[in-house]
């Protein structure tokens, strides 16, 4: 059974620092991995989608990597800003099956201090 | 402006009452999903639909029902049989080709 873990559960950093969020999954048979951002009381905003054949994706100050063989993904945020404060969720789409469902981690709550 | 809308944003109900949550998308996506989010837990799949007039149970379907009569709409009914309905409910849709899921703003349901 696929399980997704995100460590740490919470992280506080000073503004301007570069940081890395971690996501691990137990079964490497995935179709893709998606990183989301969630602000308090809001829906999820998709940040980056990495297909299983890709090693990384970049969008602005965000860079996500994927190592399927080790069951790991990282989200790198450069030059963090207070506006980056949110919960970051990763989710994998298991390979095969009919649901196309995502399996989510419990998230990392990020606080960027001004 | 393309996107997913959910209404209402907040919903309060008495125990024993059925309640329906709305989800509409104008992204022309075939697949739609309902997830439930509880504090300290990841999102869990309730129901999903790959195409109009077809839907399937997810991991926690007991006490819920859905319909998919139109491509744009996928309403979720929380019935009185759902033992712990208070939660944050999120609707999503997926582009078949890209595979990326897009989420609505959510509905927070409180049952007392």
Helices and strands, counts by H and E, chain B: 0, 11
Q: Is the dihedral of CA A20, A22, A28, A30 positive or negative?
A: negative
- Cβ-based contacts of A93 with chain B (< 8 Å): 99
Task: Tell me, yes or no, if A59 comes closer than 8 A to chain B by beta carbon.
Answer: no
Task: Tell me, yes or no, if A106 comes closer than 8 A to chain B by beta carbon.
Answer: yes
Question: For residue B23, what are the β-bridge partners?
Answer: B6
State pLDDT tens for residues B87-109. Answer: 999 999 998 766 788 999 999 99
Do A31 and B99 count as a contact with CB atoms less than 8 A apart? yes
Section A49-54 average pLDDT: 93
- Who has greater pLDDT, B36 or B2? B36
The predicted structure's pLDDT at residue B42: 84
The predicted structure's pLDDT at residue B40: 80
State pLDDT tens for residues A93-108. Answer: 988 765 678 999 999 9
Task: Tell me, yes or no, if B55 comes closer than 8 A to chain A by beta carbon.
Answer: no
Do A106 and B40 count as a contact with CB atoms less than 8 A apart? yes
The predicted structure's pLDDT at residue B96: 74
Task: Tell me, yes or no, if A21 comes closer than 8 A to chain B by beta carbon.
Answer: no
- Cβ-based contacts of B106 with chain A (< 8 Å): 41-43
The predicted structure's pLDDT at residue A1: 85
Are A22 and A105 in contact by the 8 Å Cβ rule? The answer is no
B84 pLDDT higher than 80: yes
The count of C-alpha atoms lying within 13 angstroms of the C-alpha of A92, restricted to the half-sphere facing its C-beta, is 27
State pLDDT tens for residues A69-93. Answer: 999 999 999 999 999 999 999 999 9
The predicted structure's pLDDT at residue A89: 97
The share of chain A scoring above pLDDT 90, in percent, equals 89
Total Cβ atoms within 10 A of residue B44: 17
């Amino acid at each position: 059974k696929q399980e997704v873990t995100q460590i740490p559960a919470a992280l506080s950093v000073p503004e301007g620092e570069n940081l890395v969020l971690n996501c691990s999954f137990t079964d490497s048979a995935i179709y893709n991995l998606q990183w989301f951002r969630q602000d308090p009381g809001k829906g999820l905003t998709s940040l980056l989608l990495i297909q299983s054949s890709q090693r990384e994706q970049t969008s602005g100050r965000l860079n996500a990597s994927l190592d399927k063989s080790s069951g790991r993904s990282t989200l790198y945020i450069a030059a963090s800003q207070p506006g980056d404060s949110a919960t970051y969720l990763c989710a994998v789409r298991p390979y095969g099956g009919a649901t196309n469902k995502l399996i989510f981690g419990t998230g990392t709550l990020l606080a960027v201090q001004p | 402006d393309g996107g997913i809308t959910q209404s209402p944003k907040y919903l309060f109900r008495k125990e024993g009452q059925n309640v329906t949550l709305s989800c509409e998308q104008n992204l022309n996506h075939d697949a739609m999903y309902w997830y439930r989010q509880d504090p300290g837990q990841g999102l869990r799949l309730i129901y999903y639909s790959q195409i109009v007039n077809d839907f399937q149970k997810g991991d926690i379907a007991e006490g819920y029902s859905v319909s998919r009569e139109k491509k744009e709409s996928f309403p979720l009914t929380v019935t009185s049989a759902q033992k712990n309905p208070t939660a944050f409910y999120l609707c999503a849709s997926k582009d078949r080709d890209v595979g990326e899921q897009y989420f609505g703003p959510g509905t927070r349901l409180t049952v007392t």
